[in-house]
């Protein structure tokens, strides 16, 4: 399976470390790309025939609007099939799976982050303050609808996309 990580200078260093350590732990051949997402994706798809891309998109994500478990890419994007195996999962479903099966996850989630964007728009979720100046782990958030409470909203935007993109395409984003 081809595993690709779009590295971005605005990503938390903990995310980068998590991606590389996870690829190593699971023996995944990780391709790292440090360039514009859309043009890099176009080049990748031309280089090697790719019919489908597996994503971690869930209903409620800013880029999930109109998507189903299998959804073609949006117009003006390279052609491929988006495969969204956890589209119908809730926040608690994700955490139940990760904790039950002891799946690795980024350390930032143990520091109160419940949704991770860039270093410029993400802080720990204030709802997880523990009273001693720290934060409880993300899996203790009781209301999954408040998952993005630690994410800044762009001024003048109608949606809650915080990464500068209003497309329905996958992007470098380590949610869980």
Residue 162 has pLDDT above 80, yes or no: no
User: What's the pTM value of the predicted model, to 2 decimals?
Assistant: 0.82
**Phi, psi angle pair for 135, to nearest 5°:** -135, 150
Report the 10 Å Cβ neighbour count for 58.
21
What Cα–Cα distance (Å) separates residue 162 from each residue in 115, 118, 152?
11, 8, 7
What does the pLDDT read at residue 49? Answer: 87
Domain locations in the chain as residue ranges: 51-89, 91-146
User: What is residue 31's DSSP assignment?
Assistant: E
In three-state secondary structure terms, 15 is helix
Question: 115-131, pLDDT tens digit by residue?
Answer: 999 999 999 999 999 99
- Using CA atoms in the order 39, 42, 46, 48, what is the torsion angle rounded to 10 degrees? 100
**Phi, psi angle pair for 86, to nearest 5°:** -115, 25
Residue 34 has pLDDT above 80, yes or no: yes
What does the pLDDT read at residue 170? Answer: 37
Question: 59-96, pLDDT tens digit by residue?
Answer: 989 889 999 999 999 998 999 999 999 999 999 999 99
Give the residues across from 89 on adjacent strands: none
């Amino acid at each position: 399976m081809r595993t690709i990580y779009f590295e971005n200078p605005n990503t938390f260093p903990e995310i980068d470390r998590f991606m590389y350590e996870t690829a190593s732990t699971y023996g995944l051949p990780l391709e790292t790309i440090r360039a514009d997402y859309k043009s890099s994706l176009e080049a990748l798809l031309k280089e090697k025939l790719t019919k489908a891309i597996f994503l971690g998109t869930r209903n409620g994500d800013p880029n999930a609007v109109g998507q189903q478990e299998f959804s073609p890419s949006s117009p003006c994007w390279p052609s491929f099939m988006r495969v969204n195996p956890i589209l119908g999962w809730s926040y608690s479903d994700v955490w139940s799976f990760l904790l039950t099966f002891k799946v690795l996850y980024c350390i930032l989630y143990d520091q109160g982050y419940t949704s991770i964007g860039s270093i410029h728009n993400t802080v720990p979720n204030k709802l997880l303050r523990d009273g001693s100046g720290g934060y409880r782990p993300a899996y203790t958030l009781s209301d999954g609808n408040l998952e993005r409470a630690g994410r800044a909203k762009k001024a003048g935007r109608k949606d809650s996309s915080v990464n500068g993109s209003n497309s329905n395409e996958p992007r470098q984003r380590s949610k869980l």
